[in-house]
Amino acid sequence: MMGFFVSVLAILVSIWLLLQFAPRVRLDIDQEWVDVEAGLVKLKVRIENLSQARLTKRTILLQVLSYPVENAPQLSEAVPFNTEKVISGQEPIEWHEPQEICGGCEYLYPGEVKTVEKVFRLPGEEALLHAGLQFNASPGPVTSLVNRFFAVNDSWTTTGFIVRPGADK
């Protein structure tokens, strides 16, 4: 009976240790209006490695698409990062390929935070921006080991809507 208890305890400790190194990332998109009249907004994106392991970056993508304000209630929260993901009836005013950001970054170390600021222009008075930030990691040896037992993420996405102040009245 003691052997069974020790085995279960060893398995639980092993699972706990493996999960300590499972990749976890926090993504944030904040906005700051540069010039409301001109429709200029600065997007501040933040990528933080919350895990105990170094993450190998495959890509960090920023996608910003504009839509007519009247389409806002029908828009999905998901931002399409390729044309195949555009939902019928939710086509943007103009398609733009996502921008790769943090191009010189190869790894994201535990606790490391990357921030990027970019200015975008709303294409008109009656438009809104839909922004998406996506971090894609290449699975490392620890992640590959954890993936044998548990499904762990290697891609994280967050989104946000940007509307000109006063346009939602």
- pLDDT at position 15 over 80: no
The arithmetic mean of pLDDT across residues 34-40, rounded, is: 93
pLDDT value of residue 126: 85
136: phi > 0 → left, psi -120 to 50 → alpha, else beta; which?
A: beta
- Quick check: 80 and 116 in contact, CB under 8 A? no
pLDDT value of residue 159: 96
pLDDT value of residue 154: 85
pLDDT value of residue 131: 97
What CATH class is the domain 22-163?
A: mainly beta
The whole-model pTM stands at 0.83
- Phi/psi at 66 (5° precision): -105, 145
Enumerate the domain spans of the chain: 22-163
pLDDT value of residue 3: 84
